Structure formats: structure tokens, C-alpha cells
Chain A
Amino acid sequence: MRRFKKLITVLLASSLLVTTLSACGNSAGESKTTGESGAKSTATGKSIKVGVSNMMTGPMAAGGIRMKQAITLAFEEINAKGGVLDGRPLEMVLVDDAGTQTGAVNAVNKILGDNVAVSIGPHTSSMVSATQEIYRKAGVPFITAATSPKLVEAENPYFFRISVSDGAVGPAMVDFAIEKYNAKKIAALYDTDDYGVAADGATKSFCDEKGVEYYSEGLTTGDKDLTSQLSKIKSWEPDVIFDFTHDAEAALTVRQLSELGMDDIPHVGPNALAMSQTYDLCDAEQLEGTYASTDFFADETNETMKAFLDRFHDRWNEDVERYAAMYYTAAYLVADAIERAGSDNPEEIRKALSETKDFEAVFGSLNCNDKGEMNTNLYILVFDGEKSMSVAQ
């Protein structure tokens, strides 16, 4: 019995040790904000407060770091040029929302308690649906890059979105398939979560409209073997295959399509496939000729984008990805709206935001519609045999 006790003690101690160590491992990534300090502010007036609900900790922390860096860089640039409204600097009220719904509710309440003029974030769709009523009650507009089409159902006049809604991605992919491949039959693989179901629904109704036959098969996040779904799709003989899945499943789809000898059918993947953490999981050869739809692409041939990529890299010594581009744009949009409103009154800024027209973002122009949706710039990218992408449309 003594031996057993000893053993259990050792086991417990080592499992504790492992847990603590792994916790340290997680937080180590956050303090990696290197690079020299930013430009000096030349704006001297009373600062205008802008709330930022940012996932500094938690499961989305990697994105949170980029979001913070992007907004910091944009505000430094704006303030160095004299700020807004004749010399008033923008001041960031940064609060951690930990990437969770409860965290976001607390963060937004704290931001609103600070009397901000306008706010940026939270980022994910679930966090936005948890907080958008708080913003509405407080009468403060906010800008997010969340993508769920359900968010506009709340008809919240204070909600502004600068990313492309998942509901708009499917139809754009259908247009591409018809134009490029004269597709009559489109099959899709979708994740049965919020995102996949919405994208599948939007694509289906758009296909009905266009007179294209549509067939879709669902999967669950975490599925490893997609053979039965893909075999069913194969026997249906589609002209083009879509998939609306997340990182791991998007990579598996590419691999298993090839294993099942379906390479010859054109495949348009989701925005997850356009991110390096996903396409690094794929074999370069299997990836060749695959398309990915995304609302962000670090297009170095585009001058505005190239200049932004360089500035971001100089400031933080990190590469730009979707988070950075989106929230850099959000920060500039805030400055533009305050300037157009001519005041720091939240209601005036909301009105200015809703009237946004031809705002030049790094990835294209933004136009606000009556639902607060601003972005319709969707890229369809194509992979070559070396995992690099170019714009197909």
C-alpha cells in the first residue's frame, strides 16, 4: 500500500507539473511584441476614446495579438498626422475579452463605462451576438469582422461589419463556378455548425435562383474520414465541388479528394484554406489547381496592400494576416467616420458610418448597406504547385 501511495503521489505531482508547464507555454506567445516604438503623436487636443474589445488571452489569443498590433499601428499613424477633428488624438480603451462570450459582455460593459465615442470588436460571431444588444442600449456604434449571417437578423443600427458575411461567400463562389466552368451541377461539403449551415443554406437558395442543381453533404467538426461523404458526391457527378469547413477538415478534404481520384473536378475551398496554418497541412501536389475563397489576401501586386504589409512588418516584425488587415481598416474607418461626423458624439458617428461610401480600405472599397454590411470584396485564389496563391477572380 505504501508503494502505491508513493506512486500516486508521483503521478499527481507530475501531472500537476505538466499542467502548469503547459499553461506557461500558452502565455509565452503573448509577450512577443517586438519592433521599435511607433511614430510620435502630433495631435494635442482632447483625446477621443475608442473602445477595443480584444481577445488578449484565451483560445483566440494569436488573433488578438494581431488585432491589437493593427489598431495600435493605425492610431499611431493617424495621430502622427495630426489626429482627427483639427488635432484631437485617438485613444484606445483596450479591454481583454478572453475570446469568450462572458468575457466579451464584461469587456463591452467596461468599455461603455469609459464613455467611448465608438468601439471596435469583439471579434467572433458568438461574442458579437452576446454583446450587440448592450451596444444598442448604450447607443454606441461598433465595428467587427465577425462573419455569421445571423448577426444582421437583430437589425441593430449600431452594428457595422467590415468582413464579408458567410452568407455572401457561397453565392460569389457559385457565380465563379458558372463563369469559369459553366457549372450545371454543384456539390458541397459543409460543417454542420453555425457557419457551415448558413453558408450551405445561402448557396442552396442562390443555386435555385440561378437554375443550378445543388447537392450537399454535412460533416461534424473533428471528423477524420470523409470518404462516405465524398463518395456520395462523386457518384452524383458534380461539375464543381465546394466546401464550407474549418481548418483541419478543409485540409482533409483536399487530401481525400485526391485519394479518391477526384482531382479532375474543380474544387473551391473555404477561407480557412487560404490561411497558411491550413494549407501547410496539405501536400503541394494535391493542392495544385485548388481554389480558395477569402475576403483577405496579402496581394503584393496591389500597391496600397504592399505598403501596408511593409509598414506592419517594420513596426512589429510580424507578417500581416486577416486579423491585422481587418482591424487596421476598422481603425481608419473610425477616424474617417469621426471626421465626417464632425463630432465625437456616438449617434453622429453612427450616422456617418451608415453613410460610408467608397471608403478605400487596403483590400478594396467599402460601402455600407442598410444592414451595416460594408464589405463585398471577395477573392477567389488559386494554388500553384508550390503552395503559393494568385488571384483567380
Chain B
Amino acid sequence: MQVLIQLLITGIAMGFIYALVAIEYTIIWNATGLLNFSHDKFILFGAYMFAGTYVLSLGLPPVIAVLCTIITMFLFGIVSAFVIFNPLSRLSTNLFAVIGTVILGRIITEAVRLIWGPLPFSLDGFLKGSYKIGSVVVSRSHVIIILVCTLITVSLQLFFKFTKTGKAMRCVSENKTAASLMGVNVSINIALTVGISAVICAIIGILVVPIFNVELQMSSMIGLKGFASGVIGGFGHLPGAILGGILLGVVEIFGSMIIPSVYKDCLSFILLIIFLLIKPSGLLRDRK
């Protein structure tokens, strides 16, 4: 029983990470109609910037380092929106934009390798430790992942529903021409969206630092699984992305209790293929 509870918490925590990844690229998809293929590299960049520069080189306390990383990544997002997403999303075919984001991903990876070096490292003592409730041991990092992710999803929903900027962003994702006719500045809107997406990426990167090592491959698997959870939940649909992420995290970890754990990753992708074959619109998409 305790093992089940422990696994459930781990599953939900990983699920929330996948959900955040799905959210982060879904908002760009909604705003620009582009798939950001460099999204997992944004996560990588955020994690390295936080751990490598702000904590290890500059020696800032974690809270300030988190703030600095968020601000830097927001600016990075804005810049890449003006340089890549905005011009590319206006082109006749999406193919150019796809290639553009793939290349952006390569540039980020190589830049990370040049700046911080190829050797992996870790942060001593950051979000370390565990809570003991009876005989169930819950790691502190998993609890924090669940709390932070819930906070982000709720505040994003509130932002989109109740603020003027949020409403404008939803307008842009519905119809760009109509939005610009109504006086919404589409390019600034897209820049803001990419900025927010980059901030979410940075937060994902920071959250996985205590459970993974900081290395060049750290985000590739969560990137892929985040993509899968978006498809499972309903592509381009935010609540669907969250549901898909948590479902994937939980199914994956409980599935590995039945089948050998080595095939854990296969399970996620089998689930993705099943959904593509049977219900391509995803779990929640048809409500729209």
C-alpha cells in the first residue's frame, strides 16, 4: 500500500512536469500556429543558466537565482520571438518555421556546451530531503514540483480569463486578422506569449535540477513525453494538456509495476500511438 502511495505521488509529480511542458508549447502553438521544436532546449538553457551561472558561478541564494533566471529567460523568449517566431510565422508555409526552431534548438545546445562545458554537474543540497508520513517517504522535490505546477496552471488560467493581456492573447490564438482589426498588436502579443513560454521552460528546468543531473540530455525525454501528453489530452487545448500530462505520468509509473521497468518509456509512446489511432482528437478536444 505504501509503495502504491509513494508511486502515485512520484507519478503525479512527473505528470505535472509533462503537463507544464505540454502547456509551454501549446501556448506558442495557439499564438503563432507554430510548433516550437526547440522547447526542450529552452528547458535545458533555463536549468544551466540557473544552476551553472546564477548559483554556482555567481553564488546567489536559490530564491534570487530563480528570479534572475525567470527574468533572463523572459527576455530571451521576447528576443527569440522577434528574431524567429514573428518573422517565420508570417511565411507562406510552416516548414520554414519548423526548420527555424529546430536550428534554434541546435544553436542553444551548442551554446550551452560552449558556455558551461560538456561535463554534467549537480547542485548540492538544492531542494534535497524527504518528508516521512507514517511509513510513506515523499521526496521534497516531488512535493515542490506538484505545488509549483499547480500554482502555475491556476495562475495561467486566471491570467487568460481575467486580464486584458490574457484576453488579447486568446483573441490572437482565435483569429489573428480579426484581433489586429480590433486593435490588438499581434507581434507584441506573440512576443509576450513566447516570453511566458520561456519562463515556464525555465521553471521546469529548475524543478528537475534536484532529481536529474544538469547535463546536455536532461530535457530530451521530458520534452518528448510532454509532446505526447499534449496529443493525448487534445492538441492545442490547455486543460487537455494538464490531464494528458498527469495521466501519462501515473500510467507510466504504475505500468512499470506490472511490466519490467526498462520498458517504462515505451509505455508512454505506446499510449501516444493508441491515442493517435483511436482518438486522434485527444481526451478533451471534442468538447469544443
| Interface residues, chain A, with chain B CB atoms under 8 Å away | 3-4, 7-8, 11-12, 14-15, 18-19, 21-22, 25, 192, 217-220, 222-225, 227-229, 231-232, 234-235, 247-248, 251-252, 255-256, 258-261, 277, 280-286
Contact = CB atoms under 8 A, between A and B. Distances in A.
Chain B interface secondary structure, helix, strand, loop or mixed?
A: helix
B139 to A, nearest CB: 4
A248 B106 CA distance: 23
29 contacts: A7-B87, A8-B96, A8-B100, A11-B103, A11-B104, A15-B106, A15-B107, A18-B114, A19-B110, A21-B110, A22-B110, A217-B260, A219-B261, A224-B208, A224-B221, A225-B14, A225-B211, A227-B6, A227-B7, A227-B253, A228-B7, A228-B253, A228-B256, A231-B7, A235-B3, A252-B212, A259-B141, A260-B6, A260-B139
Nearest to B103: A11
Given A192-B262, A281-B121, 16 more contacts: A4-B88, A7-B88, A12-B103, A217-B261, A218-B262, A224-B211, A224-B212, A228-B253, A228-B256, A231-B3, A232-B257, A252-B212, A259-B142, A261-B130, A280-B121, A283-B128
B222 to A, nearest CB: 8
Nearest to B129: A259
Contacts of B253: 227-228
Contact of A282 (B122, B208, B212): B122
B262 A281 contact: no
A286 B211 CA distance: 13
Interface string B213-251: 101011001100000000000000000000000000000
B58 interface: no
A218 B259 CA distance: 11
Contacts of B167: none
Contacts of A218: 260-262
Nearest to B122: A281
A223 B106 CA distance: 22
Contact of A4 (B91, B137, B262): B91
Interface in B68-114: 83-84, 87-88, 91, 96, 100, 103-104, 106-107, 110-111, 113-114
A251 B122 contact: yes
Nearest to A283: B124
Contacts of B256: 228-229
Interface centre among B84, B110, B132 (most CB of A within 10 A): B110
Interface string B257-273: 10011101100000000
Chain B interface residue bracket vs A = 35 or more
Contacts of B262: 192, 218-220
Given A218-B262, A259-B141, A234 B212 contact: no
Contact of B119 (A7, A235, A251, A277): A277
**Shortest 5 CB-CB distances between A and B: which pairs?**
A261-B137, A259-B139, A228-B256, A18-B110, A218-B262
Contacts of A18: 106-107, 110-111, 114
Contacts, number: 121
Nearest to B91: A4
A228 B261 contact: yes
B26 interface: no
A280 B121 CA distance: 7
Contacts of A228: 7, 10, 253, 256-257, 261, 264
A214 to B, nearest CB: 16
Interface in B111-152: 111, 113-114, 119-122, 124-125, 128, 130, 132, 137, 139, 141-142
A252 B111 contact: no
Contacts of B104: 11
Contact of A220 (B142, B213, B265): B265
Contact of A248 (B114, B120, B221): B120
Nearest to A286: B128
A59 B128 CA distance: 33
A22 B213 contact: no
Contacts of A258: 130
A76 B84 CA distance: 58
